[in-house]
Amino acid sequence: MHPRPWITAAFAVALCHARASAEHDHGGHAGHGGHGDQEPRAPSSRFDVGIGIVLARYETRLYAGDYQGLRPMASWARGRLGVSATLGLYRITENGATYRGLGDLHLGVGVLAWSSSLAWISVGAPVSLPVGDDTHGLGMGHVMVMPTVAAGISRVTASVTYGRAIGGAARHAQHGVWPLVDPMNQQELAGSLAVSLPLAHKLHLAGRLGGALAIGDGGDRIHAAWEAVWTEGRVTTRFDLFTGLASDPVVVGGGLRSEVSF
């Protein structure tokens, strides 16, 4: 069956949103879209609003602690085009000290570039804007652009992202992989591979393996995520767990997110 354009466009936005907002998919998208595909009210347009929470424990060479976040988000897709936005509010503990504040503002644009009855390709241009406090690991301290290409066939999805900092290079270099709530290098090439499994009409499970190679200074890392998605009418709820496997600051974390589609 040919992929519905609004579903794939929405996924392109979700992919951009997930990659831009967090390396570990705190937003809940473990590399797949269209869970429990229900018909939208308008066949070529979809608007989602939601809120999520995330909790994680991390450890780096200089810092150790945990953080909790509240993340409102919104996305809109029409035909082959979609946009998204999210902004987190965090509480973070760093070596025993506690700080609170906003994270960076993440914006995403996704386009369905090509699709057939078996596969599809999408491209996106997510960006993060330096709203968060980079001193305490809540923000990057500079703009980050992350052009992304994703492809899917059946329930398997792969993506490649090139991330590059715009300005603030010296400051980012002092921290290495930064910020603590969304670890990234100043310049990197990241990728992911995900598989989604439908267990029932309303329930899907997914697993994702991802990693990043630093370009220049920084650290290479590998991470994994697992996700359960429940769809009931216009409401989609996602629960995910994620962990760092190699040279990744996050020890373990999880999130819960609910969205309403209009």
Measured at the CA of 257, the angle between CA 163 and CA 180, to 5 degrees, comes to: 40
Q: Is 79 in a helix, a strand, or coil?
A: coil
* Residue range(s) defining the domain that contains residue 48: 5-261
Specify the number of domains making up the chain: 1
Which is higher by pLDDT, 250 or 37? Answer: 250
How many other CB atoms are found less than 10 A from the CB of residue 175?
20
Task: Based on DSSP, count helices (H) and strands (E) in the chain, helices before strands.
Answer: 2, 14
Helix-strand-coil split of the chain, %, nearest 5:
10, 60, 30
Among 121, 129, 136, 87, CA closest to 9: 121
Give 21's pLDDT tier (boundaries 50, 70, 90).
very low
Quick one: what percent of the chain has pLDDT higher than 70? 80
pLDDT tier at 169, thresholds 50, 70, 90:
low
DSSP 155-195: TEEEEEEEEEEES-HHHHHHHSSB-SSS-B-SEEEEEEEEE
More confident residue, 206 or 43: 206
Q: Which of 36-45, 78-87, 122-131 is predicted least confidently? A: 36-45
Locus of tokens 């994680």: 56
Distance separating alpha carbons of residues 105 and 17, to the nearest angstrom = 11
| Ranges 22-26, 45-49, 55-59, 226-230: which has the least confidence | 22-26
Tell me the pLDDT of the chain averaged across its residues. 84
- The pLDDT value recorded for residue 175 is 61
pLDDT, one tens digit per residue, over 186-225 is: 999 999 999 999 998 899 999 999 999 999 888 899 999 9
More confident call, 10 vs 240: 240
Give the CA distances from residue 138 to residues 2, 28, 66, 102, 103, in Å, rounded to whole numbers and listed in that order. 41, 19, 12, 7, 5
Residue 36 confidence (pLDDT) above 90: no
Phi/psi-derived region of residue 25, left when phi > 0, alpha when psi is between -120 and 50, beta in every other case: left
At 33, the pLDDT band (50, 70, 90 cuts) reads very low
CA distance 1 to 207: 24
Question: Does the N-terminal peptide bond of residue 40 adopt cis geometry, omega within 30 degrees of 0?
Answer: no
Q: What's 232's domain CATH number?
A: 2.40.160.40
Ranges 4-13, 24-33, 101-110, 114-123: which has the least confidence: 24-33
CA quadruple 109, 17, 22, 66: dihedral positive or negative? positive
